[in-house]
Each structure stands twice: as structure tokens, then as C-alpha cells.
Amino acid sequence: MQNLFSKALLVVGLAFCVGAAAQPYPNKPIKILVGFAPGGNTDVVTRILAARMQDLLGQPVIVDNKPGAGGVVATEILVKSAPDGYTLLTSSLGPHTVSPFLLKTVTYDPVNDLAPVSNVSVNALMLLVNPSIPAKSVPELIAYAKANPGKLNFSSSGVGSTTHLSGEVLASMAGIKLVHVAYKGGPPALAALLAGDVQFMFSNLSDSLPQSKGGKLRALAVTTSRRVPQAPDIPTVAESGLAGFDVAPWNGIVAPGKTPTEIVARLSDTIQRIVREKAFRDKMFEIGSDPIGDTPEQFRATINNDIQRWGKIVKEAGIKAE
């Protein structure tokens, strides 16, 4: 009888395990890592997306900020996470395609250790200066830097971030010497500019527009190849004298490299559905972002192109982290 009872318990236990394993994804909360401080563009985009993903997937979607090294810290946390679809990352141009070339301490392979899910949005950066600087255009800023070599400081959201790289590319193309000051995210970098601790920075539109319209900071240009509809009167850096200057940061969801393709597909389909919604697109426009919502294959192509492009730029320009 005891033996029969034990066998019965074993059958029940096995049935429970099989049933648990067969549960459809997702069946518990999902966490999305953000490699920057709360309040910046990447954080805001992620929180808007997460709220809607939670509705469609039927599970809590939690945003977890892990700032540091321009997004590298969060990326390294992701690649060490279980590839089960329950830990994701809002990756961006800097840590995904630039930092592996810029920083010797990066421990991940951006091609094999990260599984693209969907590119959520792209956005321009705006070149802002503190009013204490007399420059009212990019050529005037360059002239000021040449007249004051090594005395012009710019802040960024972290080493290897697009806000850092934009300043380095500006310095290289213009032939000027700048001092980079890294912060843990866009908001503290912007606060430093407002306080006059640094003289200029490249900042996301969502942070830049209120400050420039309020007169607290002066907007000189945007980093994309075309002017942005949110600020049509602001020229691009390229049309301001540095032809070919084009930095268009993106925010995309990625998973650990070995995440099953069916889970990646489920997440991608969900994000693409959200990006097609008018309410989401309107919110992206309000924060200065352009919604994308592509397939894993399309996102991977974007990443591979950017890896080749920025690897070449970093090498040819001799850009180095401090």
C-alpha cells in the first residue's frame, strides 16, 4: 500500500511539473532594464511601452533602472540573465554599437549576446549651450572653442552614450579640443548644464525643448540629417557647417542572446502592435521620438549597420574614453 501511495504521489508530481512547464509565456512578471537614470528619454519611452505591454500580455511589466557607464552596466546585467523572456533591456545606440569599440572593459558581444526584439523609436539630440556662452550658432561655438582650447566642457549621460559620442564627433570634425564630463544619466547631465558646471551638451528633445523654449538654455542645432518637426526652426549640425554629421539614437528592446525564437517573436509582435496604436505614436511625438516598431530581423540589420558605421567612426576619429 505504501509503495502504491508513493507511486501515486510521483505521478501527481510529474503531472504538476509537466503542467507548469507547459504554461504559455508569459506566466509571471517581466522586467525591463534601463541603463540610464529615471526621467531621461530611454526611461520615458520604456515606461510608456511597459504600461501597454502589461495590458496586452496580462502580466506586470516592471521597469528597473540600472544606470552606469552609458548603459553598459545594464547591458552586462542582461547578458548574465536567464534567456527566458522575463528579463529584457531597452538598449540604445551607445552601449550596443559604440561602447564595444570605445571601452576596453565591455564584457559582452553585441552580436551574439543580445537578441534583437524590436526597435521602438528613434530620436534626435539637441545641442544646447548655457547662456553664459556667447555662441548663438554651431560655427560660433566652434570659434569660441578654438579661442579657448581645453576650456569648453560638455556633459553627457555616460561614457559611450550617444550624448558623449556626439560631442566627440563634433570635436573631431571641427578640429577643436573639448573636455568631457560624464554623469549617470541625462537628467543630472542637464542639471549640470543649467547650473553652469559645464558649457554645453547634446540632450534628448524631450529634455531640451522645455529648457530652450523657456530661455534657460540656448538651442543651436539638432543631430539628425533632417530638421525635426518639434523644432522646425532649429538647424541641423550638418547644415550648420559640419556636412555629414548625423547622430540618430534609437531605443529598442533586446533579450539575452539565447532566448527562444518563439518568445522573441511573441514580444516583437506585441511591441509592433503597440507602436501601430495612435495613442502610443502621439505620446512618442510629444517626447520628441519617432516610433518604429520593426521585426527582430529588421532590428538586427539596423544594429549590424550601426556597429560597422560607429566602429569605423570611433577608429578613424581616434575617439577614446577617459
pLDDT tens, residue by residue, 199-220: 999 998 888 989 999 999 999 9
Query: What domains are there in the chain, each with its CATH number?
Result: 29-122+249-317 (3.40.190.150), 125-240 (3.40.190.10)
Confidence of residue 266 (pLDDT cuts 50, 70, 90): very high
Q: Which three cell numbers stand for residue 195?
A: 547650473
Instruction: With CA atoms as reference, report the closest residue to 35 among 61, 73, 87, 63.
Output: 73
CA 124 to each of CA 38, 84, 230: distance values in angstroms, whole numbers, following the listed order: 19, 33, 10
Contact 82, 256 (CB under 8 A): yes
pLDDT tens, residue by residue, 110-125: 999 999 999 999 989 9
pTM for the whole thing?
Answer: 0.82
**Amino acid 316: pLDDT:** 76
**Amino acid 20: pLDDT:** 45
pLDDT tens, residue by residue, 35-79: 988 988 899 999 999 999 999 999 999 999 999 888 999 999 999
